[in-house]
Structures are given as structure tokens and as C-alpha cells.
Amino acid sequence: MLKLGVNIDHVATLREARYKNTKHGEPDPIAAALICEEAGAHGITAHLREDRRHIQDRDIWKLRESIKTRLNFEMANSAEIVDIALRVKPDIVCLVPEKREEVTTEGGLDVVANLESLTTTRKRMNDTGIQVSLFIAPDPRQIEAAAKSGSQFIELHTGSYAESFGLAESRARELERLIAGAKQANVLGLKVNAGHGLNYENLRLIYDVPHLVELNIGHSIISRAITVGLKAAVQEMLELMLPTSNIARC
């Protein structure tokens, strides 16, 4: 069964737009996470960025205390954030690149160029019982390096696929890259997640990608929640993820 991890970062983005630098405010990402769980989400994803633009330290600690499903802690491979992760002890960390000028995480990690430092962080996480995923493009060299790092998972960056969805030729090419990447990862012993830019329209072709364990989706669900409510938005996405869904298979 394909699992859904809901990224709640943009709930915090909305809160910080009005309540930045305060210790209160709405909407509450913790309350949102609990609604997502109630709706059937299999896990909660949150990214504590170095610049603290949305999720704050207190959010991560409260999530760890509050949710009953899997906490996926997205993070940069920086000393400060690594230390926080080791103390919070999420179920899994997903190491991602960060750029201060980006609106949200764009592009995948360069594992090839940073293999030594990523392997060191992977070992530290695993030693405390935390699984590790690397957020990477479906590039053969990066997937091979991810396996060398000893990480348990990769998360395939689906951004290029999502951006090309309206162009048949480009869409087919990007989907084939994801399929090939997932197959390669599986042969190398890596478990495969996917995320970035997935929404209620482009999700239907993702079932062509083999060996997927979990999809991490945030912006589309939070956007949909504005009109139908968060519980309904999560349930609608879960329905699309059912292998018997006519929409998912068309």
C-alpha cells in the first residue's frame, strides 16, 4: 500500500506571515498534523530550515510529543540542525539542500560531492535509531552514491516531472527517469519515497513508478484545504492513491 506523508510546512508559513517572532499564532501546524492523522495520513513531514522561515523549533518538539504516526524531519546537513534532530529523535530524517533565496526546497542533494559528510551524518542518525533518506534527483550517479552512503531511503525529486506535466513529450521523459531511478534504487537495496510538486492532477501517473513506499505532499493539500477543509483534502488525496482508483489509473 502506497503511504502518504503530509508536509505541514505551509501551515506554519501562513502563521509566520502574521505572527513572526512570537511564540503563538494561527494556524497551528500541530493541530493541522493531528487532523491529517485523523484523516488517514500515514506520516507527518516538517522541515526545520536554518532560516526558520516557517516551522520553528517548538513545532518540531511538539510534533514529536503529539503525533502518533511517523515523523519525517526534513533538514539540511548542518551541525545545528543535526544536533536538534539527534535530540528530537524523529522516526526518519530526510536530508535536503537549502538555499536562502528559494521559496521551497528546489533540486536534489549532490550526494556524489558530499558523500563523506552525508555518510557521517547517516551513521550518527542510525546510531540513535533514526532512519535516513536522501532527497535526490533521479540521476544514476546520485542514486549510486546514496547507496554508498548507507542510507535506508531515497526520496526521488518529482519537481521536473510536475513542471513538465502539461507537455506530453517532456512528461514521458521525466516519468521514465523516475521509473529508471526507482528500479536502480531497488536493485541497490534502497527504499524509495517521492515528492515535490505532486498534486491532485499529476498524481495519477506516479503509479507507473515501481517500488514506491511513500509520497510526501504538502503544498497541494494545504492549498486544497482552503476550499474543502484539511481533513477532506487529505482524504481526497488518499483516495487518488488507491491502486483501484479510476482517476489514478486513467
74 is catalytic: yes
157 is catalytic: no
Say which of 42, 54, 157, 196 is annotated catalytic: 196
Say which of 37, 74, 174, 214 is annotated catalytic: 74
Residue 29: name the closest of 70, 62, 69, 5 by CA: 62
Is the preceding omega at residue 97 within 30 degrees of 0, hence cis? no
For residue 77, the SS3 value is: coil
How many helices (H) and strands (E) the chain has is answered by 11, 8
Q: Please state, in angstroms and rounded to a whole number, the distance separating the CA atoms of residues 236 and 227.
A: 13
211 is catalytic: no
Q: How many CB atoms lie within 10 A of CB 107?
A: 16
Say which of 47, 155, 157, 214 is annotated catalytic: 47
Residue 41: name the closest of 219, 211, 236, 201 by CA: 236
Residues labelled catalytic: 47, 74, 196
